[in-house]
Amino acid sequence: MSATPPPAPRHIAFIMDGNGRWAKKRLLPRVAGHASGALQTRKLVKACAQRGIAYVTLYAFSTENWARPADEVSALMALFLKYLRNELPALIDNGVRLRVIGNTSAFSPVLQEAIAHAESQTAHGQRIQVNVCANYGGRDELIQAMQAWMADHPGAPAQALDAQSLSPYLWTGDIPEPDLLVRTGGECRLSNFLLWQSAYTELYFTPTLWPDFNDAALDEALAWYAQRERRFGKTSEQVAMATSSVK
């Protein structure tokens, strides 16, 4: 029996890696790679919206990225602030709902203010939801979720906590799990990204560096995804039967 292709993905997550190497290849400072990567991100969000993707999640800055040289960290923060400000009218015009996910309290007050402003101004966007993970770590997210659950259930026995009850406490509690995760830059690891949510996500690793990941590269990733059979622990025969009964 041939594998049953999945429906088109609703949610794609991107680990936007390879900006530094892109710059190095061109003898440019790493920051130039980040600027080029940010331009590519803008195009890619548009391409995702055109392809009917409902949710895009972008890994922009990990909890571990604070360990980079101070000038690179401050350049990344400046780029983030610039994009939040400059892109806001276009985000609103294009029906984008922006969410920033992560521990944003570590950012400067001015950046926190720009995040809150962009989120509230785009809250009614209907076309696509773009989640920017900034100062995000999957482990941090899980720990805060467990702490929040415990605060809401004082004295509850540990056995009362299960996967279903924990999920709403994740920062992504109201967002479907990603169907497809794309990592550019050639590394085959999650680097602390969406550890819980990617349990059954299709993982696509490409050597293409993020600033080079264009619409054609996105279409290649989507074509690869369309060949997957998502079994969620079941057999191929069960998947085929469930799909034919839905039609």
62-101 mask for ligand IPE (x: CB under 6 A)? x--x----------x-------------------------
Can residue 17 be called a binding residue for Mg ion (CB under 5 A)?
yes
Stretch that binds Mg ion, among 13-21, 105-113, 132-140, 149-157 (CB under 5 A): 13-21
Tell me how far, at minimum, the Cβ of 17 lies from ligand IPE, in Å: 5
What does DSSP assign to residue 106? G
Beta bridge partners of 133: 59, 101
CB 95 within 8 A of CB 125: yes
- Concerning whether 65 is annotated as a catalytic residue, the answer is yes
Residue 191 interacts, among Mg ion, ligand IPE, none and using kind-specific CB cut-offs from 5 to 8 Å, with ligand IPE
Give residues with Cβ within 8 angstroms of 190, minimum separation 6: 15, 138, 183, 198
Q: What are the C-alpha distances in Å from 228 to residues 216, 231, 236?
A: 19, 9, 11
CB 156 within 8 A of CB 177: no
Neighbours of 138 (CB within 10 A): 20
Can residue 20 be called a binding residue for ligand IPE (CB under 6 A)?
yes
Q: Are strands 180-183 and 202-205 parallel, antiparallel or unpaired?
A: parallel
Can residue 175 be called a binding residue for ligand IPE (CB under 6 A)?
no
Give the span between the Cα atoms of 165 and 168, in whole angstroms.
Answer: 7
Q: Which amino acid is at 182?
A: V
Question: 200 is written with which tokens?
Answer: 């059954």
- Concerning whether 103 is annotated as a catalytic residue, the answer is no
Can residue 104 be called a binding residue for ligand IPE (CB under 6 A)?
no
Figure out which of the listed residues 44, 56, 61, 100 binds ligand IPE, where binding follows CB under 6 A: 61
176-205 mask for ligand IPE (x: CB under 6 A)? ---------x-x-x-x--------------
Q: What is the contact surface with ligand IPE in residues (CB under 6 A)? A: 15-21, 59-62, 65, 76, 185, 187, 189, 191
- Residues near Mg ion (CB under 5 A) are 17
Active-site annotation, residues = 17, 65
